[in-house]
Amino acid sequence: MVPIAYYLVLSGILFSIGVAAFLIKRNIITVFMSIELMLNAVNLTFVAFSRYWSQAQYRLNPTNYLQVNGQIFVFFVMVVAAAEAAVGLAIIIAIFRARNTLNVDQIDLMKL
Amino acid sequence: MTDLHLWLIPLVPLAGFLVNGLLGRKFPRALVTTVALIAALVPFIQVVSIAAKFGSLTLPHVETIGTWIRAGAFHADFSFQLDQLTLVMLCVVTGVGFIIHIYSAGYMAEEEGYWRFFAYMNLFLFFMLTLVLAENFLVMFIGWEGVGLASYLLIGFYYTKDSAARAGKKAFVVNRIGDFGFLLAMFLLIAHFGTVSFSEVFTQIAAHPAWQGGFLTAIALFLVLGATGKSAQIPLYVWLPDAMEGPTPVSALIHAATMVTAGVYMIARTHVIFDRSPYALAVVAIIGTATAFFAATIGIAQTDIKRVLAYSTISQLGYMFLACGVAAYTAGIFHLVTHAFFKALLFLAAGSVIHALSGEQDMRVMGGLRKKIPVTFWTMTAAVFAISGAPPLAGFVSKDEILYQAFITPGPGKILWAFGLLTAGLTSFYMFRLWYMTFFGESRAVEKDLEEHGAAVHARRDTKLTLEAEHHAHPVHESPGLMIWPLIILAILSVIGGWMGWPEGLGGGNWFAHWLSPVFAASSSTSPAGSNQLEFLLACVSTLVAAAGWFAAHLMYYKDPAIPERAAGKIRSVYSLVKNKYWVDEIYGAVVVAPVFFIARYLLNVLIDRGVIDGGTYAAGATAQGFGALVARIQSGNIRSYAGWLALFAALLLAASHFGWTAHFWVH
């Protein structure tokens, strides 16, 4: 069995890549993709912990039900991410039409 | 127990006030007059009907409408009380009040704000009747404060005139000092007796013969402070002369006949407390005597006809205090009644004189009015003789009763009597001075009016309201019937009003004192015995003194009008001291008012208000603004910088939790 730490480290690496890409990249599509990457890193953590927790409970007492809370959460995150992708891409298209650029540094309208 | 509906007595004037006060602006004058006069007449009729069946009542007759305050064992009710003392006051307030209302209808006929005037007059009656009828200190305090309010409103009736507005404020502020004393007395009463009801307090005192002085002295002295404010005694008398800025009927009703006697009434009402405190009584007697003498000396040198009467009022109130101070409460109340008659008459007659002279108040420009306004002259003559103590008029009877009671008081009674006698002479002198200057000799109106006073009269015409001075110029004329008849009624009362208390020493029965004695039953046993011969002798002495005062005035202001000038020239410093009212206003201004202003202006305004409060809030605002400007720079609009901040602090939080710095967030 693969130890839980492996999953977590992988998740951490993916999340860090996402954060770094979010901070570094200027193209709004790439930034958007890095957000998806972070969400999926979190999803990976959720399922890893869910599995780990279920096994621990089972070992304690075989009659315990399977613990799937973490996996259910992953579905929620996926649904939200899909909705976000739909809305976000629509916004990106609207911005591109209005400003003719996808560079986030040039879309700094929300400041004092 | 028969229900007399005592609550109706004050409530009818209140209804009059509400009707005239809320709707009067739109009413024609006749309607305003009708409402106001009915509102003043109904209580009078009710009082008369109560007086008619007074003998069949069990006294004191108490009627409670409902509970006002209930807190634990303490409770204060809306309750009214009727006994002999109350009835006397009710008769004076409603009777004289109604007469003055009639007079006002004539006197104020051409004034702006006619409805306002009558609304305030009715309001005054409401509060005064509440004060008189109250069965406990708290209800009395409503009336006590309320008459102060009505007084303030009516003194400042010509509110566009600066001096009137300031006089109103002065009266109110000075009265507040006295009210403060009343409040403290009430707190002490609640603390010691747990009640504010007159009867309960007096019962408790009667049940503890050992209580002497001590906290009773404290309560009594605070009550005296209240009384000195309302009744214009030393040291709080300064507002009354300035109160003459109000219309003359107001001076007659509030500042002569009724409101200013509230202090005397209050002391008489609470005499049970005073009887247990010789110190408080001595203070009352000394204040009264000093005020009587002091104010009389000031009255000698005043030239404004109403101011002479104002100082005379203060002086006569001093007599009443003197009577209370020697525990001769019936004598004090008796003088209160007769004084209400003749002093109201004096003011109303003075108002008639002022009316005849188109608003002139300076006696130096009067003179020779005897033939021109005969009814005013004769009624005023009755009042002058009454206040001077000419037998058998009202003032003679009541004043001599006070002097007699002072004389037979052991200890310093003789000194009090001597000063009272001296004051009687002075009273006679300044009243006849007023009489001669106003009605006798040649008219001095023409030459002087143009010189100095005319300017003041004309200057006042610029103000928006019609002032008393602004009656359209007309030749000297007698006042209309509405003003004359009240004068005549009051003149009759001034002549015969004293007969109800004709002293035993002069062959009378002193019916008034006997009738009132149940109220003061507790203190009557302590009054020392005099003799009829002594009383007769003292009456002769004071009559002679009054005659001497008349003679001096006759000499100085009728025979040879040059004497006052020469006499004043000889004793220049004394004359100017008296003429300037002993500079008491200036001394108060320097000692009390100026420091208060200084504290208010520099300590409270500049330092506390603008420095600490304004400064503090401004500093807080500036700090928030500066900090906001600093952190606002974080909001750059650059999404990646936001993400950077987020990542940075998330990382910091992680690091912190790794080292256990966030452990206290966990709830165990």
- Sorted by where each begins, the domain ranges of chain A are 4-99
Taking CA atoms, what residue in B is nearest to A105? Answer: B638
Tens-place pLDDT, residues B626-636: 999 998 887 77
Minimum distance, in Å, between the CA of residue A111 and any CA atom of chain B: 4
Q: A10: distance to nearest CA of chain B, Å? A: 18
Q: Using the structure block, give the residue that is written with the tokens 């200890």.
A: B411
From A22, A108, A110, residue closest to B643, measured CB to CB: A22
pLDDT computed for residue B522 by the predictor: 61
DSSP single-letter state for residue B612: I
pTM of the predicted structure, to 2 decimals: 0.78
Which residues on chain B are in Cβ contact (under 8 Å) with A109? 637
Task: Please report which confidence band the pLDDT of residue B467 belongs to, taking 50, 70 and 90 as the band edges.
Answer: very low
Q: Which of B632, B638, B644 sits opposite A105 (nearest CB)?
A: B638
* Interchain contact B56–A (C-beta under 8 A): no
Which residues of chain A are at the B interface, by a Cβ-Cβ cutoff of 8 Å? 19, 22-23, 31, 104-105, 107-112
Chain A nearest-CA distance from B639, in A, is 7
Per-residue pLDDT for B459 more than 50?
Answer: no
pLDDT of B402 higher than 80: yes
pLDDT tens, position by position, B151-164: 999 999 999 999 99
Residue B630 phi/psi, 5-degree rounding, is -65, -55
Q: How confident is the model at residue B41 (pLDDT cuts 50, 70, 90)?
A: very high
Instruction: Nearest chain A residue to B648 by CA: give it.
Output: A19
In the predicted structure, residue B455 carries a pLDDT above the cut 50: no
Chain A residue with Cα closest to B628 = A112
Residue B473 binned pLDDT confidence (cut-offs 50, 70, 90): low
pLDDT at B445 over 70: no
The partner residue sitting opposite A108, judged by closest CB among B638, B643, B644, is: B638
pLDDT over 80 at B603, yes or no: yes
Report the range of poorest mean pLDDT among A88-102, B459-473, B597-611.
Answer: B459-473
Contact B637 A104 (CB under 8 A): no
Is the model's pLDDT at B87 over the cut of 80?
A: yes
B591 lies within 8 A of chain A by CB: no
Contact B643 A105 (CB under 8 A): no
**Letter for the amino acid at A49?**
F
pLDDT score of B284 more than 60: yes
Contact residues, chain A, for B647 at CB < 8 Å? 19, 23
Q: B506 or A68: whose pLDDT is higher?
A: A68
Query: Inter-chain contact A111–B647, Cβ cutoff 8 Å?
Result: no
Q: Which residues of A touch B637 (CB under 8 A)?
A: 108-111
Q: In terms of C-beta density within 10 A (0-12 exposed, 13-18 middle, 19 or more buried), how is residue B575 classed?
A: middle
B638 interfacial to chain A (CB closer than 8 Å): yes
ipTM above 0.90, yes or no: no
| Chain A residue with the nearest C-alpha to that of B638 | A108
Tell which wins on pLDDT, A14 or B501.
A14
Query: In 10 A of CB A52, how many CB atoms?
Result: 17
Mean pLDDT value across chain B: 87
Cβ <8 Å between A110 and B643: no
- Tell me if chain A has a CB within 8 Å of the CB of B595: no
Distances (CA, A) of A15 to A19, A33, A35, B3, B179: 6, 12, 9, 93, 79
Asked if A23's CB is within 8 angstroms of B640's CB, the reply is: yes
A106: closest CA of chain B, how far (Å): 8
> Does any CB of chain A come closer than 8 Å to the CB of residue B630?
no
Which two structure tokens, joined as six digits, stand for B66? 């409902």
Cβ-defined contact of A108 to B640 (cutoff 8 Å): no
Contacts of A23 in chain B (CB under 8 A): 640, 643-644, 647
| Mutation to test the A interface, candidates B639, B645, B649, most A Cβ within 10 Å | B639
User: Looking at CA atoms only, how far is residue B69 from chain A in angstroms?
Assistant: 59
Half-sphere exposure (CA, 13 Å, Cβ side) for B48? Answer: 9
Quick check: B629 contacting A, CB < 8 Å? no
Residue B391 carries which DSSP code? T
Domain A4-99 grouped into CATH 3.40.190.10 = no
Tell me the sheet residues that pair with B195.
none
pLDDT at A110: 67
% of chain B exceeding 90 in pLDDT:
53
The C-alpha of B646 sits at a distance from chain A's nearest C-alpha, in angstroms, of 10
Amino acid identity at B55 = G
Tell me if B647 and A31 make a contact (CB, 8 A cut-off).
Answer: no
Q: What pLDDT was estimated at residue B479?
A: 82
- The stretch B240-263 carries a mean pLDDT of 92
Contact B636 A108 (CB under 8 A): yes
Beta carbons of A111 and B644 less than 8 Å apart: no
B628 touches chain A (CB under 8 A): no
CA dihedral B271, B272, B273, B278 (to 10 degrees): 80
B647/A contact by beta carbon, under 8 A: yes
> Using 50, 70 and 90 to split pLDDT, how confident is the model at B55?
confident
How many beta-carbon pairs under 8 angstroms link A with B?
29
Give the CA distances from residue B593 to residues B156, B162, B585, B589, in Å, rounded to whole numbers and listed in that order: 20, 19, 10, 5
In this prediction, residue B318 carries a pLDDT of 94
Q: Looking at chain A, which residue has its C-alpha nearest residue B635?
A: A111
Helix axes B278-301, B413-439, angle to 10 degrees: 30
State the pLDDT at residue B470.
45
Provide the shortest C-alpha distance from residue B164 to chain A (in Å).
58
> What residues of chain A lie within 8 A of the CB of B638, using their CB?
104-105, 108, 111
What is the number of other CB atoms lying within 10 angstroms of the CB of residue B58?
A: 8
Q: Is B110 helix (H, G, I), strand (E, B) or coil?
A: coil
Q: What is the pLDDT of residue B526?
A: 47
Average pLDDT over every residue of B114-138? 94
Q: Hey, is B426 helix, strand or coil?
A: helix
**Which of the four pLDDT bands, split at 50, 70 and 90, describes residue B471?**
very low
**Could you tell me if B82 and B57 are in contact, meaning their C-beta atoms sit under 8 angstroms apart?**
yes
Separation in Å, CA of A69 to nearest CA in chain B: 23
Mapping DSSP onto H, E and C, the string for B288-344 reads HHHHHHHHHHHHHHCCEHHHHHHHHHHHHHHHHHHHHHCCCHHHHHHHHHHHHHHHH
Phi then psi dihedrals of residue B247, to 5 deg: -60, 150
The span from the CA of B12 to the CA of B491, in Å, is 28
Rounded to an integer, the average pLDDT of B386-415 is 88
Identify the band that residue B624 occupies on the pLDDT scale cut at 50, 70 and 90: very high
pLDDT band of residue B135 (cuts 50, 70, 90) is very high
State which of B336-340, B514-518, B556-560 shows the largest mean pLDDT: B336-340
Q: Do A104 and B632 touch (CB under 8 A)?
A: no
How confident is the model at residue B529, as a pLDDT?
A: 60
Q: Which of B10-24, B288-302, B567-581 has the lowest mean pLDDT?
A: B567-581
| Amino acid identity for residue B61 in this structure | H
Q: What is the pLDDT of residue B664?
A: 64
Nearest to B637 among A19, A23, A110 (CB): A110
Q: Mutating which of B631, B638, B648 best tests the A interface, going by the most A Cβ atoms within 10 A?
A: B638
Residue pointed to by tokens 């104020």: B108
Left if phi > 0, otherwise alpha if psi is -120 to 50, otherwise beta: which for B667? Answer: beta
Q: Residue B469: is its pLDDT beyond 70?
A: no
The residue that leads in pLDDT, B370 or B120, is: B120
Q: Do B639 and A31 touch (CB under 8 A)?
A: yes
